[in-house]
């Protein structure tokens, strides 16, 4: 493809994309294809001869679109919001055009320097404590996902725990003895989270090769972890000869958007400073843009790391997971390995940041561009307005739910823009009797609501109940539809 051919193909692609967005509400959200549909439409071996772009372009609509779930549709109600915006797409386009896997500063100084600058902007926008900014010992780095951020921190926490234990033991060891003793220490380590924490912490523990234990939380505390529950778990594990070394606390759990009790957890951290505490704010973290939520940051300076996904709720296309750490040396001590081919004078003299040492992969994409484009296009005030608008939609949703207590019950009240409801299993058109026992929501039947409310429905509501439920929430869908148009333009 020549530059001229690219120019005309790209112009057509942009037109296809804007048409797609302008008319997305007309497409059914879910595809109606059967598993294996695409293999029936495509050849089993690659084309021997070159194909024309026109032919490739036509296959997007005829072969790919039938198998697409339209996450950007205003009628998409599953999982969690997945942001998309035109400025975000421009960042992706430029990133693809430049294609610089800038693992070291030297690979493309602008990639590293822009990332440091925009991560400091994000930290300020979210009112994170100063210790997470790059001017001190901390700093931010863009990861691909919250899961990647957690496993990166977990491996760093594991190695920090091992190093500190060896230092405390103070025994002079040969390299081989040190390795053996480190392996023994690692074999006792336990990562902690609650039953409501996202599964990425459990997965991270599997990857880091350590144990994982989950802590029960109760509905009476809105599923938020309390310091005394954490302390009891730590003491129990220690009495069994195990060493808790990592805890994920949540600012907004996946099921109910619960917020753990940071104040009492910070108290426990003072007694167990070697346990790394990570704040998973994958979805809700961007709400810290609003002053009314910034009180949550009060205890963050006691914790080691914080992560939020701009690609969930802040108008930035996947992937833009912002990880902040208090002490960047914790990451680099665990993850920096420098063979001769990665050495250079700037790094050797400690003059620059090399983000390869803050992450698992070596190469990295120029993600900071889209973050920069999004922040500049909306400005902090515009981004605040975006979050506020969704919170208003959430209020409207709750009002509508309350107006039909014959159909719905609220299980956990609004938290950020998320409310957990259940569809009443009967169709008796009367308010349900208050239950004497509080049942836990059944996470496996969670049907989250785009922009961003979660409905937890009973296993098999009858079809008439669902029909009525859909009619009642249609008004909300329409509002969401309007809001999408406003924010894309």
User: Cis (ω within 30 of 0) for the bond into 319?
Assistant: yes
User: Cis (ω within 30 of 0) for the bond into 452?
Assistant: yes
Taking the C-alpha atoms of residue 410 and residue 307, their distance in angstroms, rounded to an integer, is 29
Q: Kindly state whether residue 308 participates in binding ligand PLP, applying the rule CB under 6 A.
A: no
Instruction: Provide CB contacts within 8 A for 223, sequence distance 6+.
Output: 194, 195, 196, 217, 253, 255, 256, 258, 412
Nearer to ligand PLP, 147 or 347 (CB): 147
Nearer to ligand PLP, 76 or 105 (CB): 76
Binning the chain into helix, strand and coil, the percentages to the nearest 5 are 50, 15, 35
Taking the C-alpha atoms of residue 237 and residue 453, their distance in angstroms, rounded to an integer, is 36
Contact track, ligand PLP, 53-92, x by CB under 6 A? ---------------------------x------------
| Cβ at position 147, least distance to ligand PLP in Å | 3
Tell me, by CB under 6 A, how many residues bind ligand PLP.
15
Q: Are 147 and 335 in contact (CB under 8 A)?
A: no
Among residues 321, 359, 394, 452, the one that binds ligand PLP under rule CB under 6 A? 321
Nearer to ligand PLP, 20 or 79 (CB): 79
In the numeric block, which tokens belong to residue 358?
């803050």
Taking the C-alpha atoms of residue 152 and residue 382, their distance in angstroms, rounded to an integer, is 32
Footprint of ligand PLP on 342-381 (CB under 6 A): none
Q: Kindly state whether residue 282 participates in binding ligand PLP, applying the rule CB under 6 A.
A: yes
In the numeric block, which tokens belong to residue 382?
């515009």
Nearer to ligand PLP, 412 or 424 (CB): 412
Taking the C-alpha atoms of residue 24 and residue 20, their distance in angstroms, rounded to an integer, is 6
Q: Kindly state whether residue 412 participates in binding ligand PLP, applying the rule CB under 6 A.
A: no
Q: For residue 111, how far is the Cα from the chain centroid? A: 22
Footprint of ligand PLP on 163-222 (CB under 6 A): 198, 200
Nearer to ligand PLP, 210 or 309 (CB): 309
Stretch that binds ligand PLP, among 60-68, 96-104, 250-258, 435-443 (CB under 6 A): 250-258
Nearer to ligand PLP, 280 or 354 (CB): 280
Radius of gyration of the chain (CA): 25
Q: Kindly state whether residue 416 participates in binding ligand PLP, applying the rule CB under 6 A.
A: no
| Cβ at position 149, least distance to ligand PLP in Å | 8
Phi and psi at 195, nearest 5°, equal -65, -20
Footprint of ligand PLP on 128-147 (CB under 6 A): 145-147
**Nearest residue to 76 via CA among 455, 459, 448, 487:** 448
Stretch that binds ligand PLP, among 49-57, 66-74, 275-283, 293-301 (CB under 6 A): 275-283
Nearer to ligand PLP, 137 or 203 (CB): 203
Q: What is the number of other CB atoms lying within 10 angstroms of the CB of residue 220?
A: 7
Nearer to ligand PLP, 134 or 321 (CB): 321
Taking the C-alpha atoms of residue 305 and residue 307, their distance in angstroms, rounded to an integer, is 7
Q: Kindly state whether residue 233 participates in binding ligand PLP, applying the rule CB under 6 A.
A: no
Binding site for ligand PLP (CB under 6 A): 80, 145-147, 198, 200, 250, 252-254, 280, 282-283, 309, 321
């Amino acid at each position: 493809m020549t530059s001229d051919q690219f120019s005309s193909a790209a112009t057509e692609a942009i037109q296809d994309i804007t048409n797609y967005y302008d008319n997305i509400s007309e497409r059914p959200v879910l595809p109606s294809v059967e598993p294996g549909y695409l293999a029936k439409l495509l050849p089993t071996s690659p084309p021997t001869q070159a194909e024309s772009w026109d032919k490739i372009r036509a296959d997007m609509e005829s072969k790919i679109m039938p198998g697409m779930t339209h996450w950007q549709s205003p009628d998409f109600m599953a999982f969690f919001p997945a942001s998309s915006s035109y400025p975000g797409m421009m960042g992706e386009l430029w990133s693809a055009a430049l294609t610089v896997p800038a693992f070291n500063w030297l690979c493309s100084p602008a990639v590293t320097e822009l990332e440091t600058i925009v991560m400091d902007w994000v930290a300020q926008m979210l009112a994170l404590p100063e210790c997470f900014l790059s001017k001190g010992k901390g700093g931010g780095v863009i990861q691909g996902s919250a899961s990647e951020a957690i496993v990166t921190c977990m491996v760093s926490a594991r190695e920090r725990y091992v190093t500190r234990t060896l230092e405390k033991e103070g025994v002079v060891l040969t390299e081989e003895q040190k390795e053996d003793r480190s392996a023994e220490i690692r074999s006792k380590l336990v990562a902690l989270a609650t039953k409501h924490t996202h599964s990425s912490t459990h997965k991270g523990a599997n990857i880091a090769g350590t144990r994982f234990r989950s802590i029960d939380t109760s509905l009476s505390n809105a599923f938020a972890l309390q310091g005394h529950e954490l302390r009891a778990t730590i003491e129990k594990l220690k009495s069994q000869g195990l060493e808790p070394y990592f805890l994920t606390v949540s600012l907004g759990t996946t099921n109910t958007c619960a917020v753990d009790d940071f104040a009492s957890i910070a108290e426990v951290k003072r007694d167990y400073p070697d346990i790394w505490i990570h704040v998973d704010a994958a979805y809700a973290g961007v709400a810290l843009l609003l002053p009314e939520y910034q009180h949550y940051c009060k205890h963050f300076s006691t914790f080691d790391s914080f992560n939020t996904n701009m690609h969930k709720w802040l108008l930035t296309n996947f992937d833009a997971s912002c990880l902040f750490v208090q002490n960047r040396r914790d990451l680099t001590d665990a993850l920096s390995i420098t063979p001769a081919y990665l050495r250079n004078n700037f790094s050797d003299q400690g003059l620059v940041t090399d983000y390869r040492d803050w992450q698992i992969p070596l190469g990295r994409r120029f993600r900071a561009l889209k973050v920069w484009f999004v922040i500049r296009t909306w400005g902090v005030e515009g981004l605040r307005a975006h979050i506020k608008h969704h919170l208003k939609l959430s209020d409207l949703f709750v009002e509508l739910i309350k107006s039909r207590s014959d159909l719905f019950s609220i299980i956990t009240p609004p938290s950020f823009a998320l409310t957990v409801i259940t569809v009443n299993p009967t169709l008796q058109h009367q308010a349900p009797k208050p239950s004497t026992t509080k049942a836990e929501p059944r996470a496996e039947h969670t049907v989250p609501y785009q922009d961003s409310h979660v409905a937890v429905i009973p296993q098999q509501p009858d079809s008439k109940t669902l029909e009525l439920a859909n009619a009642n929430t249609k008004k909300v869908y329409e509002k969401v539809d309007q809001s999408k148009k406003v924010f894309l333009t």
